[in-house]
């Protein structure tokens, strides 16, 4: 991610936003126009998305660029009705907009295709793939969000861990609190918030394990932190101690992201009140490691 700051000079007052950014940022006018269209130009906490917006002297503008998101695959629609949209999120695509873009995300993609009323009711980490549900009406959003808050949504994840766990199955109950590294969390014996994850080892080929995880609570990074603290950080999860590559037999296995996949999601549909379960196939990188582990 690249950031460029521009302060609007007195002589630039009243000029078009895209023209001033191109003149003062060192970027081409085309790049500045793309950044504006993506939602990557900020004035304090407000996105500026009009190319011809007249700027004012003294404005401090920030351009945030990230080319990685533009080449990511789109989500696959698993289910769609008047109340909700269920998709399979590809790894690397954010659930919601980032500083660089409010378009290249699951929410941005969904709103472009199904209307601006679509909204998120839960999130998956950027690197996590799998089932994600979005609401298509305000009432559906309220009803779905309540189920997540009450813990009645059943979530089943698959993970590739490295090294070992104390038992082949059990429950991890470490309380979580923010860690010193921004955006990270850690298990703590005092304070924090309660978190519980049921797990079961499905297959083992040292040093890797294929793990099924069923979080009872919905804390940020919960599965990643719990497995790391228990001795099995995820392959590819450098934030929580997981290596990017390991030797498996005679070959080297590598991962460019934490290998965590939201395999199934079960909840009560907002208006029919029927219980429904949705499943997303594992993406190619996860499936390849899992297959080598089972060999």
User: What is the model's pLDDT at position 97?
Assistant: 81
Q: What is the mean pLDDT of residues 71-80?
A: 90
Q: Is the pLDDT of residue 71 over 70?
A: no
**Model confidence at 223: pLDDT above 90:** yes
User: Does an H or E element contain 110, and which?
Assistant: helix 106-114
Our measurement of the distance from residue 160's CA atom to the centroid of its chain's CA atoms, rounded to an integer in Å, reads 18
Q: Which of 12, 18, 102, 125 is catalytic?
A: 125
Assign 295 a pLDDT band (cuts: 50, 70, 90): low
**CA 247/CA 39 separation, integer angstroms:** 42
Go through the domains of the chain in sequence order and give each one's CATH number. Answer: 2-65 (3.10.290.10), 70-150 (3.30.2350.10), 154-294 (3.30.2350.10)
Q: Is the confidence at residue 2, as pLDDT, over 90? A: no
CA proximity to 96, closest of 134, 51, 49, 136: 134
Pairing state of beta strands 208-215 and 197-205?
antiparallel
Q: Identify the burial level of 164 via C-beta atoms within 10 angstroms of its C-beta, where 0-12 means exposed, 13-18 middle and 19 or more buried.
A: middle
Question: How far apart are the C-alpha atoms of 268 and 277, rounded to whole Å?
Answer: 9
Region 1-13: mean pLDDT is 90
Output the pLDDT for position 69.
Answer: 57
pLDDT at residue 155 is higher than 80: yes
- Mean pLDDT value across the chain: 93
Contact between 57 and 63 under an 8 Å Cβ cutoff? The reply is: no
CB crowding 93-130: b at 16 or more within 10 Å, else e: bbbebbebbbbbbbbbbbbeeeeeebbbbbbbbbbbbb
What integer is the mean pLDDT of 196-208?
A: 96
C-alpha 262/C-alpha 132 separation (Å) is: 8
Half-sphere exposure of 163 (CA within 13 A, CB side): 13
The verdict on whether 125 is a catalytic residue reads: yes
């Amino acid at each position: 991610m690249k950031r460029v700051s521009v302060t609007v000079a007195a002589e630039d007052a009243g000029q078009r936003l895209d023209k001033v950014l191109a003149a003062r940022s060192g970027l081409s006018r085309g790049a500045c126009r793309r950044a504006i269209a993506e939602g990557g130009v900020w004035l304090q906490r407000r996105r500026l998305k009009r190319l011809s917006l007249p700027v004012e002297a003294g404005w401090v503008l920030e351009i945030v660029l990230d080319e990685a998101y533009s080449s990511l695959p789109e989500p696959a629609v698993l289910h769609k009705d008047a109340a909700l949209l269920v998709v399979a999120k590809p790894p690397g695509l954010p659930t919601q907009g980032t500083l660089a873009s409010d378009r290249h995300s699951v929410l941005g993609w969904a709103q472009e295709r199904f209307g601006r009323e679509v909204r998120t009711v839960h999130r998956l980490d950027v690197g996590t793939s799998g089932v994600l549900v979005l609401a298509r009406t305000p009432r559906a959003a309220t009803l779905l969000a309540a189920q997540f808050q009450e813990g009645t949504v059943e979530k089943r994840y698959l993970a590739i861990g490295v090294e070992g766990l104390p038992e082949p199955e059990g429950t991890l109950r470490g309380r979580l609190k923010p860690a010193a590294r921004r955006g990270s969390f850690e298990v703590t014996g005092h304070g924090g918030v309660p978190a519980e994850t049921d797990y079961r080892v499905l297959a083992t080929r040292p040093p890797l394990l294929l793990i099924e995880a069923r979080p009872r609570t919905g804390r940020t990074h919960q599965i990643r932190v719990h497995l790391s603290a228990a001795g099995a950080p995820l392959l590819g999860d450098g934030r929580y101690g997981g290596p990017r590559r390991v030797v498996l037999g005679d070959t080297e296995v590598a991962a460019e992201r934490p290998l965590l996949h939201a395999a199934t999601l079960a909840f009560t549909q907002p208006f029919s009140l029927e219980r429904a379960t949705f499943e997303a196939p594992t993406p190619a990188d996860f499936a390849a490691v899992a297959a080598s582990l089972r060999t």
